[in-house]
């Protein structure tokens, strides 16, 4: 039995500390910290979601019924910041924390104390940012992109900039930890090209994070000095340039978009082979496509700025570079379909979310391709078409992948099976209502409705009402998810097996369920045929 060393740890003699404070606040354990990240992300998801519900309620019909326009702008700004930096990114870091050591046969993350610090910065950063909503002058209201000069009019700029600095420090530390773990802590025999695609996706994402988070920090620091220290980086009155901010911001912002989707690609690349009971199609192509997309993400930033009035040559360059991304992304989608082809599929909840991811993310990719065409973008830019596009890639893309991952690994984390019936209820509600929510927004954008407006002409009323109804029901559906998770962790009677899923392969399924507090204290002996991607010849 090749994993004997691991299975000897059943008695869990270095168990978790008994005191609550010691266990959770002082933790250096990758599993506990992963859990903290996931709980934090779920909390932020519901806070950011409540902002979204208020936005959709105000947009339910024409006329202002609930909130003042300025507060509406605070809501859209906060919704973006919270969902991006508070929900999606920490959720991926949590999944990485939990699963990367288990997947590469490492006993823990390489830098466990820094791991604790990088998590515990986050609650303070978000309390600081959310507190601005209750301060005189209100929260940030210039959009999550914080374009000057508008963002310089905000009274809460200093709070938000400091919060972003903290989040950036947290992300950079998390990224360093993940790179150090993957490059140094793999069990003997776990070659780079035998690693799970999820681990590959995180390795590449971590490099993106280290590359661009300092850029964001620089951009917001320049905002800070422009507002409080009399500099004129972005102030034309002092010789500055408001467009400079947009270049710097999107040099961060576009790789950021891929930071939020590459780990999702990794997750789906693990789930689809498991439930198709067939190895992933074109493993090397999948890894290469990830690297390609990561590289291209650095040279497409100005496609967010086509309406800024760039020179013709710049418009053309960024259009071509953006269109190129469709090639590696297409390869990934085709490879997932080819993985399913000839498989022996079952459709448990993780697989359902993964399949919905492939289809709906691809729809988001289609609108992305349309947006890349500069003349068409002149019409789409800053309309609900863009809102629909990025919610397809971030909600039915990143979020669906996170939910799929939660269902997929929850039995390994908790040692219990979630309720499959309620999981499926959650899935079908989510997938129906999310489309009712976001698909009509394409039509609104094409008909000419700008984004970030609290009120609109009556011609936009029908689709806004449909979208709001979809939004409320999608939001309510996520309470089912909360229920399923709570039931699974605390009440489920059904014990999970070690392997959990019939077709599951890889080191994480060789440890007991629930995964004991310490795993792989002795490196496992690796047998290629038991890895998900152990026999890669292509």
Partner 1 sequence: MAAASLALASFGGVVQADPHPWQLNMERGASTWSHVPYDLNNISLAVCVVIGVLVFGAMFIAMFRFRKSRGAVAEKWAHNTVLEVVWTTIPVVILITLAYLATGGLTSWADTTGSQMTVKVTGYQWKWRYDYVSYMGKPIEKVGFMSKLDQQSDDTRQLDSGMDPYAVKVGDEHTYLLNVDKPLVVPVDTKIRFAITGGDVIHSWWVPALGWKLDAIPGIINAAWTNIKEPGTYRGQCAELCGQDHGFMPIVVVAKSKADFAKWLAEQEAASKKASPPPAPFDAAAAASASNSVPAVPQG
The residues annotated with a catalytic role in the active site are 79, 108, 144, 170-171, 254, 256, 258, 269, 303-304, 329, 332, 451
Q: Collapse the DSSP code of 383 into the 3-class scheme (helix H, G, I; strand E, B; otherwise coil) and give the result.
A: strand
Should residue 528 be labelled a site residue for partner 1 when binding is judged by CB under 8 A?
A: no
Q: How many CB atoms lie within 10 A of CB 396?
A: 26
Q: Using CB under 8 A as the criterion, what x/- string covers residues 462-491 for binding partner 1?
A: xx----------------------------
Residue 409 near residue 99 (C-beta atoms within 8 A): yes
For residue 416, what are the β-bridge partners? 495
**Terminal-residue alpha carbon distance, the chain:** 29
Residue nearer to partner 1 on the CB measure, 117 or 324:
324
Should residue 136 be labelled a site residue for partner 1 when binding is judged by CB under 8 A?
A: no
Residues 447, 469, 473, 489: which binds partner 1 (CB under 8 A)? Answer: 447
Kindly state the smallest distance separating residue 463's Cβ from partner 1, in Å: 8
The closest alpha carbon to 403, from 91, 10, 127, 32, belongs to 91
Q: In the window 141-160, what residues touch partner 1 (CB under 8 A)?
A: 141-143, 147-150, 153
To the nearest 10 degrees (0 to 180), the angle between helices 326-340 and 349-372 is 150
CA 376/CA 189 separation, integer angstroms: 50
Total number of residues that touch partner 1 (CB under 8 A)? 100
Kindly state the smallest distance separating residue 78's Cβ from partner 1, in Å: 14
Q: With CB under 8 A as the contact rule, which of the stretches 13-21, 81-89, 375-383, 389-397 interacts with partner 1?
A: 375-383
Kindly state the smallest distance separating residue 483's Cβ from partner 1, in Å: 28
CA 274/CA 189 separation, integer angstroms: 22
Should residue 276 be labelled a site residue for partner 1 when binding is judged by CB under 8 A?
A: yes
Should residue 6 be labelled a site residue for partner 1 when binding is judged by CB under 8 A?
A: no
Residue nearer to partner 1 on the CB measure, 28 or 497:
497
- Which tokens is 415 given? 């040692």
CA 340/CA 279 separation, integer angstroms: 9
Q: With CB under 8 A as the contact rule, which of the stretches 125-133, 193-201, 272-280, 415-423 interacts with partner 1?
A: 272-280
Residues 282, 350, 411, 514: which binds partner 1 (CB under 8 A)? Answer: 282
- 3-state SS of 151-173 is HHHCCCHHHHHHHHHHHHHHHHH
Should residue 345 be labelled a site residue for partner 1 when binding is judged by CB under 8 A?
A: yes
Should residue 174 be labelled a site residue for partner 1 when binding is judged by CB under 8 A?
A: no
Kindly state the smallest distance separating residue 131's Cβ from partner 1, in Å: 21
Residue nearer to partner 1 on the CB measure, 170 or 396:
396
Should residue 169 be labelled a site residue for partner 1 when binding is judged by CB under 8 A?
A: no
Q: In the window 304-323, what residues touch partner 1 (CB under 8 A)?
A: 307-309, 312, 315-316, 319-320, 323
Cα-based distances in Å from 129 to 37, 85, 159, 432: 18, 11, 6, 33
Residue 102 near residue 181 (C-beta atoms within 8 A): no
Q: In the window 71-110, what residues touch partner 1 (CB under 8 A)?
A: 73
Q: How many CB atoms lie within 10 A of CB 434?
A: 23
Kindly state the smallest distance separating residue 113's Cβ from partner 1, in Å: 40
Residue nearer to partner 1 on the CB measure, 34 or 139:
139
CA 174/CA 100 separation, integer angstroms: 12
Question: Cα-flanking dihedrals φ and ψ of residue 509, to 5°?
Answer: -90, 0
Should residue 344 be labelled a site residue for partner 1 when binding is judged by CB under 8 A?
A: yes
Tokens 């000069």 -> residue: 149
- Which tokens is 284 given? 């090397």
Kindly state the smallest distance separating residue 232's Cβ from partner 1, in Å: 10
Q: In the window 376-415, what residues touch partner 1 (CB under 8 A)?
A: 376, 378-379, 381-383
CA 484/CA 479 separation, integer angstroms: 9
Kindly state the smallest distance separating residue 81's Cβ from partner 1, in Å: 14
Residue 529 near residue 118 (C-beta atoms within 8 A): no
Q: Using CB under 8 A as the criterion, what x/- string covers residues 34-73 for binding partner 1?
A: ----------------------------xxxxxxxxx--x
Residue 18 near residue 48 (C-beta atoms within 8 A): no
CA 424 to chain centre: 22
Residues 455, 473, 525, 534: which binds partner 1 (CB under 8 A)? Answer: 455
Q: With CB under 8 A as the contact rule, which of the stretches 6-14, 256-264, 331-339, 493-501 interacts with partner 1?
A: 331-339
CA 152 to chain centre: 28
Should residue 346 be labelled a site residue for partner 1 when binding is judged by CB under 8 A?
A: yes
Kindly state the smallest distance separating residue 361's Cβ from partner 1, in Å: 12
CA 301/CA 245 separation, integer angstroms: 12
Should residue 537 be labelled a site residue for partner 1 when binding is judged by CB under 8 A?
A: yes
Cα-based distances in Å from 160 to 85, 124, 144, 237: 12, 12, 10, 24
Q: With CB under 8 A as the contact rule, which of the stretches 14-22, 196-204, 359-367, 512-520 interacts with partner 1?
A: 359-367
Kindly state the smallest distance separating residue 531's Cβ from partner 1, in Å: 13
Q: With CB under 8 A as the contact rule, which of the stretches 32-40, 85-93, 199-207, 339-347 interacts with partner 1?
A: 339-347
Residue length, the chain?
A: 538
Should residue 326 be labelled a site residue for partner 1 when binding is judged by CB under 8 A?
A: yes
Should residue 446 be labelled a site residue for partner 1 when binding is judged by CB under 8 A?
A: yes
Residue nearer to partner 1 on the CB measure, 112 or 448:
448
CA 260/CA 396 separation, integer angstroms: 12
Residues 107, 123, 343, 512: which binds partner 1 (CB under 8 A)? Answer: 343
CA 257/CA 262 separation, integer angstroms: 9
């Amino acid at each position: 039995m090749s994993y004997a060393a691991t299975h000897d740890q059943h008695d869990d003699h270095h168990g978790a500390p008994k005191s609550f404070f010691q266990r959770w606040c002082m933790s250096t354990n990758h599993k506990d910290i992963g859990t903290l990240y996931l709980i934090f992300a779920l909390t932020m998801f519901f806070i950011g979601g409540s902002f979204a519900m208020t936005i959709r309620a105000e947009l339910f019909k024409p006329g202002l019924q609930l909130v003042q326009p300025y507060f509406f702008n605070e809501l859209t700004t906060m919704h973006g910041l919270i969902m991006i930096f508070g929900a999606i990114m920490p959720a991926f870091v949590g999944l990485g924390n939990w699963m990367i050591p288990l997947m590469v046969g490492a006993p823990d993350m390489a830098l466990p104390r820094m791991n604790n610090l990088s998590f515990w910065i986050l609650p303070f950063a978000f309390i600081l940012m959310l507190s601005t909503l209750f301060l005189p002058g209100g929260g940030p209201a210039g959009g999550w992109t914080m374009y000057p000069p508008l963002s310089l009019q905000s009274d809460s700029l200093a709070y938000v900039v400091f919060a972003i600095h903290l989040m950036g420090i947290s992300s950079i530390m998390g990224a360093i930890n993940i790179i150090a773990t993957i490059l140094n802590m793999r069990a003997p025999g776990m070659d780079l090209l035998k690693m799970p695609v999820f681990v590959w996706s995180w390795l590449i994402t971590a490099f993106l994070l280290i590359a661009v988070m300092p850029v964001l920090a620089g951009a917001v620091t320049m905002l800070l000095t422009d507002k409080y220290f009399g500099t004129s980086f972005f102030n034309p009155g002092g010789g500055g340039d408001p467009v400079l901010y947009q270049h710097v911001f999107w040099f961060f912002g576009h790789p950021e978009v891929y930071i939020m989707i590459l780990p999702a690609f990794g997750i789906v690349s693990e789930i689809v082979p498991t439930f198709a009971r067939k190895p992933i199609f074109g493993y090397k192509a999948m890894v290469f496509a990830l690297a390609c997309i990561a590289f291209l993400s650095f040279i497409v930033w100005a496609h967010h700025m086509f309406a800024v009035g760039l020179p013709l040559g710049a418009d053309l360059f960024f259009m071509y570079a953006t269109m190129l991304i469709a090639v590696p992304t297409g390869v990934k989608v085709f490879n997932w379909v080819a993985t399913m082809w000839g498989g022996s599929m079952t459709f448990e909840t993780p697989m359902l979310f993964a399949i919905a991811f492939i289809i709906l993310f691809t729809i988001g990719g289609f609108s992305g391709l349309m947006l890349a065409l500069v003349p068409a973008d002149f019409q789409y830019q800053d309309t609900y078409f863009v809102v629909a596009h990025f919610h397809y890639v971030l909600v039915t893309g990143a979020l669906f992948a996170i939910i799929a991952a939660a269902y997929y690994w929850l039995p390994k984390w908790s040692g219990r099976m979630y309720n499959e019936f309620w999981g499926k209820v959650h899935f079908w509600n989510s997938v129906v209502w999310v489309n009712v929510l976001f698909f009509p927004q394409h039509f609104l954008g094409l008909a000419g409705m700008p984004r970030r407006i609290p009120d609109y002409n009556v011609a936009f009323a029908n689709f806004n009402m449909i979208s709001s109804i979809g939004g409320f029901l999608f939001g309510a559906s996520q309470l089912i998810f909360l229920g399923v998770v709570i039931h699974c962790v605390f009440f489920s009677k059904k014990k999970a097996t070690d392997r959990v899923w019939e077709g599951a392969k890889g080191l994480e399924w060789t440890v007991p369920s629930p995964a004991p507090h310490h795993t792989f204290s002795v490196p496992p002996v690796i047998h290629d045929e038991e890895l998900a991607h152990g026999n890669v010849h292509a």
